[in-house]
Amino acid sequence: MDIKQLSYFVSVADARGFARAGSKLRMSQPALSRQVHALESELGTPLFVRHGRGVSLTEAGAVLRQRADELLQHIQTVKCEVSAMSLNPSGELKVGLPAAFRDLVAPEVIGTFSAKYPNVSLSITELTSVAREDAVAGGSVDLAVVTAMDTALVSHPLISESLFLVGAPDAGLHPGRPVDLDRVAQLSVVQNTLPNGVRRVLERAMARRGLALRTVLEVDSLPVLINLAAMGRHYACVPYSAIHEDLAKGRVSAAPVAGVRITWKILNAPSRPLPLAGGIFEKLLRGECLRLTRARLWKTGKVIDDAARPSSRTAPAPAQG
């Protein structure tokens, strides 16, 4: 469809007449009528019923009017994004990151982005994976990193890593010596409250082995959960990215849980395009993940190639185990 003709159609529909719409558009009624008639000819159906008081929409016209605003807005967004490719991005960008990324990944990415793109107002939120997914779907967040789970949103693989059993410094755990799920099942464990993507991955892996966790406490805070494990009262199972700093400083000991990995994915809503700033942030995030794995700073981390990134909704993701 001709975009200009579509906008003329909207003007006539809203004004309920060619004369009133022509006056508002500062064009003659015959010229406006020709444009709308050309649109009707292309679509092969009348869009208006002409009568003495003006016009009213046909059934086909009503359908087109319902879709027209969305079409015109999408076209305007695309034009702005293409025009902005040679300019510095501006505006707002809202990103949801997992608490596990707080020390290992987020500082470098956020710092670099803020320094290079000062005209973008960057907002970072944590919450749970489920809450971050809901925020993307609801439009309050532009993109988010979550654990792989069933979702109707567009998802792009980012990185996978092993789940680690975490205990006190004297617990005898070592990053180079994986522990089996049978041992994990014998320990008293503190876990994140449900719904939680990491906990879901662990519990599914245990169930496949006919095992169950001895959950003694639920905590809705990753730092508190790690602190409890560091005190030696209980154990915790978290991604390595969440304990990088604590392990380096000797506050905890930790070992990968054999055969249990989680996959981090980037989500954005299929109903709206990702802002230019969002694409830049995602590129920086992927670059930092690659740097950390190549430098062997992200133990067990494996960056997932996203060369063939999907353009539509992905199939539900299987649990990682």
**What top-level class would CATH report for the domain 3-84?**
mainly alpha
Task: Name the helix (H) or strand (E) containing 266.
Answer: strand 253-268
The predicted pLDDT at position 109 comes to 95
Tokens standing for residue 11: 């003007």
DSSP state letter for 263: E
Tokens standing for residue 238: 């978290």
The predicted pLDDT at position 152 comes to 62
Structural Rg of the chain based on CA atoms: 27
DSSP state letter for 53: T
What is the number of alpha carbons within 13 Å of residue 191 lying toward its C-beta? Answer: 21
Residues β-bridged to residue 256: 164
What does DSSP say about strands 154-167 and 120-125: parallel, antiparallel, or unpaired? unpaired
The predicted pLDDT at position 306 comes to 56
The predicted pLDDT at position 321 comes to 32
| Weakly modelled stretches of the chain, pLDDT under 50 | 307-321
Q: Are both 91-158+263-303 and 160-262 of the same fold?
A: yes
Distance CA(267)–CA(153), nearest Å, equals 6
CATH architecture of 160-262: 3-Layer(aba) Sandwich (3.40)
Helix axes 3-15, 18-25, angle to 10 degrees: 120
The predicted pLDDT at position 310 comes to 39
Right CATH for 91-158+263-303 from 3.40.190.10, 3.40.50.720, 3.30.70.3450, 1.10.3720.10 = 3.40.190.10
**pTM, to two decimals:** 0.66
The predicted pLDDT at position 277 comes to 87
pLDDT tens-digit readout, 140-175: 888 999 886 656 677 889 999 999 999 999 998 999
Matching residue, tokens 């690659």: 290
The predicted pLDDT at position 148 comes to 66
What is the number of alpha carbons within 13 Å of residue 264 lying toward its C-beta? Answer: 29
Distance CA(105)–CA(190), nearest Å, equals 24
Domain boundaries, the chain: 3-84, 91-158+263-303, 160-262
The predicted pLDDT at position 150 comes to 53
pLDDT tens-digit readout, 93-147: 999 999 899 999 999 999 999 998 898 899 998 877 778 888 888 888 889 998 8
